[in-house]
A and B are shown apart, each in its own frame.
Chain A
């Protein structure tokens, strides 16, 4: 190979690399007409017998000539375990009608009520196509579908990117739309309706739906030979049924803070306290700013990401994520990861409803709409085999801890656990290969 050939090859490789900053990873000559696969097996387990998830995912990509590529991904999840219902803890056992309306479950005295009837299987399929549109433009389009026992999702997205400045800068714009149908076990509760005895379905209606529209504006910039930056602005508008059909609030005494007792009708099982289903607004607009940077210090690579999100439910959140990929020898690496997340509560978040007071229009005791922070600490280990395939193992620990605003704590509630901390282990095995 003479000098000219070497230069041509270098320029060809560099040209391909330039395209790496666009929507899709480019096909190099050697990769064209080849399938590449990423597979993963994940276990997510919360402490105290709460949610357990086993998930298998396979994503396939085929590169064609002229930097066109097809991506297909498949995921299957099985979820089991118990999930906090939103009701407050009490010094006496509490009995609830299960979401199906056909049985009851009882929470022991002193415990934060968990609904243990929670189990689901989810399948998701998505496909996307990426191709150059003109010399400096790349277009990408995708479709997604997922189904669960009580939920069905259909989505589509389209984005366009243009390169500038010798492809050191990329601007992109995208739009996504989705339509989700919700068909909860036992029906969708009427917002703020009271939980009724087994067999009485008058507080439930049939299925419901929501749609979500997302807009994304992106900016990618090569800052130097070792550093690349991406910044995104996104806007998301959800409309329709935005409640969690399985979340409730306790109706409590204004002085003691204890749940108002209730006696089921004669001969039937039913709740032993007054509980109401949550009510969220039927629209939500979110905006977020996201920035990430990758920097190579020789062989090690540092990845930093930050996101600010704000919405019209008055939730603000900040997310910081740091990863450092550290090579071990020529074929392996270890990557410690640390993530910090903090959010403020939704304006309609309430630990409980107070008996005798007019019902608010919106109320939810879902802890995920509360005030909390979360830390994820973990490490990933990866190894590239002689044939170029890569396997990896990731172990993470997720810790969420929150609190109920002091002015919302009434009487005896102060002596009980109000906001159950959540601790989860995440274990993931990955294998990437080519055919």
Chain B
């Protein structure tokens, strides 16, 4: 599994060399709401609610936990 991931990552990385933007084309991506980590507190609250009500957790970040609710 790890080997497959490593190969996939390597392929993706070489493929990605043609993707992306130049540094001066970052205007839209620089907007705070375009950050993938924008509104981290909302995301943490959601993770905590769903962790205690559903059998799945994590994915976006580490698996959550630290709660006796599940």
Contacts and interface: CB of A to CB of B under 8 A. Distances in A.
Interface of A: 10-11, 13-18, 20-21, 24-25, 38-40, 42, 44, 55, 57, 59, 73, 79, 120, 122, 124, 144-146, 148, 150-151, 153, 155, 157, 164-166, 168-169, 171, 174, 176, 178, 180, 182, 212, 214, 216-217, 219-226, 228, 230, 232-234, 236, 244, 286, 288-290, 292, 294, 296, 301, 305, 307, 309, 311, 313, 315, 317, 319, 325, 333, 341, 343, 346, 368-369, 374, 380, 394, 398, 400, 422, 426, 428, 430
Contacts of A21: 29, 36
Contact of A180 (B25, B48, B66): B66
Given A157-B62, A307-B56, 17 more contacts: A21-B29, A25-B38, A57-B45, A59-B41, A120-B68, A153-B67, A168-B21, A169-B19, A223-B20, A224-B20, A225-B28, A233-B5, A236-B58, A288-B56, A325-B33, A368-B53, A368-B70
The A interface, classified by DSSP as helix, strand, loop or mixed, is strand
Contacts, number: 203
B22 A166 contact: yes
B58 A341 contact: no
B41 A38 contact: yes
> Which 9 residue pairs spanning A and B have beta carbons closest together?
A168-B20, A151-B68, A17-B30, A153-B66, A290-B59, A14-B23, A17-B26, A307-B59, A14-B26
Contact of B16 (A168, A226, A333, A428): A168
A144 B66 contact: yes
Contact of A236 (B34, B38, B54, B63): B63
A267 to B, nearest CB: 34
Interface of B: 5, 9, 12-13, 16-17, 19-31, 33-38, 40-42, 44-45, 48-50, 53-56, 58-63, 65-70
B29 to A, nearest CB: 6
